[in-house]
Amino acid sequence: MGAGSVGGYVGGCLQAAGVPVHFVGRARTLDGWRTHGLRVTDQDGRDERLAPSALDMGEQPRDGLAPALVLLAVKCGATATAAAQLAAALPAGTPVLSLQNGIGNVEAAHAAAPGLHWLPGMVPYNIAELSPGHLHRGTGGRLAAQDDPALRPWVPVFEAAGLPLRLHTDLRPVQWGKLLLNLNNPVNALSGLPLRAELMQRGYRRVFAALQREAVAALGAAGIEPAQVAAVAPRRLPVVLSLPDGLFQRVAQRMLRIDPEARSSMADDLALGRATEVDALCGEVVRLARAHGRDAPLNERIARLVRAWPAHPRAWPATDLQRELGLR
Ligand SMILES: NC(=O)c1ccc[n+]([C@@H]2O[C@H](COP(=O)([O-])OP(=O)(O)OC[C@H]3O[C@@H](n4cnc5c(N)ncnc54)[C@H](OP(=O)(O)O)[C@@H]3O)[C@@H](O)[C@H]2O)c1
């Protein structure tokens, strides 16, 4: 549900492994897939193709469908609408695994469609649609989800599809661990640079580190210990990010293993005039801080810059961004 980068990649890998998949997405995406088929590739040499005739797709969840599992892969702002559409078409109790970033999607989905069985998940890697129907995983990692009897039979299926999946008794620390990494999304979007070029500049990394420190402080106040999702432990990340460029490049080789042209999806959203997920990321940090009697002014300010961007589009040099956030 939400056939885009994540839905196309995960669904495509599953179908390539023999799982029947029904893709629900927008006409503009599905038309490209109808013409070119679906191709899933990754940085480790995977390259599989599904012919257009092999794809079962539609713009709505089809009535009468009784899927064993639904994967929700819309952007956070589209969650409630997608949840209501699913509830109208699917049997009560159908398990739905959210593969979205952010923390609150399952709560939002449950509020819109309490009859479905909502489960939180986490995608650690970057996936981009390189050309219509060509979904490429550009970084590594292992999918994660909340442990639940409905998901256990799927673990070997995902494994066989090249999508290793780990179930966690409490996914929240994992979701927060991922959110800490996603705090680079607004920095990247405002920089106007590809991810790798942005991360090569200490000024941008210092902004990213400052947003993380603020989030880690809010998490500490809430008694949440974020899980390690990247190569570096969450509490060490701001230290590593703040290193001088030469040292950072040596220490963070894995973090910099990114396709040179890859950008954050928030950068794409701004460029295409779409709503961003900044409220589900920085906004979540601000809400957590407030709930525990603190402020998160840097996350609040950068979220405001992202929201203001469509009216005043510009690429922010690192020094300007640091000054704007009071970091210089
Ligand atoms: N891409 C990544 O590398 C990555 C990695 C980890 C996590 N994530 C997270 O995964 C989620 C999905 O990201 P993505 O990059 O896959 O987004 P995406 O490429 O924009 O795909 C989502 C697709 O779902 C469509 N959609 C929205 N509501 C729909 C509905 N009711 N019915 C049918 N289609 C609908 C969207 O269309 P519209 O544009 O018209 O809404 C869009 O085409 C986000 O929360 C993201 O943060 C992404």
Confidence of residue 303 (pLDDT cuts 50, 70, 90): very high
Distance 58 CA to ligand 1 centre (A): 15
Q: What pTM value is reported for the model?
A: 0.96
Contacts of 97 (CB under 8 A, 6+ apart): 69, 70, 71, 72, 119, 120, 121, 145, 151
**Does the beta carbon of 127 sit less than 6 angstroms from any atom of ligand 1?**
yes
Test site for ligand 1: of 265, 269, 272, most ligand atoms within 8 A of the Cβ: 265
Residue 257 has pLDDT above 90, yes or no: no
Output the six-digit token pair for 2: 């939400």
CATH code (residue 273): 1.10.1040.10
CA distance 148 to 303: 34
Q: Are residues 43 and 149 in the same domain?
A: yes
From 119, 139, 169, give the residue that closes a domain.
169
Please name the residue whose Cα sits nearest to atom 21 of ligand 1.
Answer: 4
Q: Are residues 150 and 222 in the same domain?
A: no
Distance 222 CA to ligand 1 centre (A): 29
From 114, 149, 169, give the residue that closes a domain.
169
Q: Are residues 179 and 142 in the same domain?
A: no
DSSP string over 31-86: HHHHHH-EEEEETTS-EEEE-GGG-EEESSPPTT---S-EEE-S-GGGHHHHHHHH
Test site for ligand 1: of 31, 75, 105, 270, most ligand atoms within 8 A of the Cβ: 75
Confidence of residue 63 (pLDDT cuts 50, 70, 90): confident
Determine the atom of ligand 1 nearest the C-alpha atom of 105. 45
Q: Report DSSP state, residue 274.
A: P
Output the six-digit token pair for 81: 């609408």
pLDDT at 199: 96
Determine the atom of ligand 1 nearest the C-alpha atom of 6. 16
**Distance of CA 29 to CAs 33, 34, 66, 96, 140, Å?**
7, 9, 24, 22, 25
Q: Are residues 31 and 146 in the same domain?
A: yes
Average pLDDT over residues 37-66: 95
Q: Over the range 44-63, which residues count as b (16 or more CB within 10 Å of their CB) and which as e?
A: eeeebebeeeebebeeebee
Q: Are residues 12 and 148 in the same domain?
A: yes
Q: Are residues 113 and 13 in the same domain?
A: yes
pLDDT at 92: 97
pLDDT at 253: 87
What digits encode the pLDDT tens for the residues 103-151? 999 999 999 999 999 999 999 998 989 999 999 998 889 999 999 999 9
Q: Are residues 164 and 192 in the same domain?
A: no
Query: Please, what is the Cα angle at 261 between 105 and 136, to 5 degrees?
Result: 55
Distance 126 CA to ligand 1 centre (A): 13
Output the six-digit token pair for 180: 């800490």
Q: Do 294 and 271 touch, CB atoms closer than 8 A?
A: no
**Does the beta carbon of 178 sit less than 6 angstroms from any atom of ligand 1?**
no
CA distance 128 to 227: 25
Containing domain of residue 286, as a range?
174-324
Residue 259 has pLDDT above 80, yes or no: no
Q: Are residues 251 and 155 in the same domain?
A: no
Distance 7 CA to ligand 1 centre (A): 7
From 114, 142, 169, give the residue that closes a domain.
169
Confidence of residue 286 (pLDDT cuts 50, 70, 90): very high
Residue keyed to tokens 């999702």: 229
Q: Are residues 196 and 134 in the same domain?
A: no
Please name the residue whose Cα sits nearest to atom 42 of ligand 1.
Answer: 4
**Does the beta carbon of 264 sit less than 6 angstroms from any atom of ligand 1?**
no
Q: Are residues 162 and 181 in the same domain?
A: no
CATH code (residue 58): 3.40.50.720
Q: Are residues 144 and 233 in the same domain?
A: no
Q: Are residues 16 and 155 in the same domain?
A: yes
**Does the beta carbon of 305 sit less than 6 angstroms from any atom of ligand 1?**
no
Q: How many domains does the chain have?
A: 2
**Does the beta carbon of 6 sit less than 6 angstroms from any atom of ligand 1?**
yes
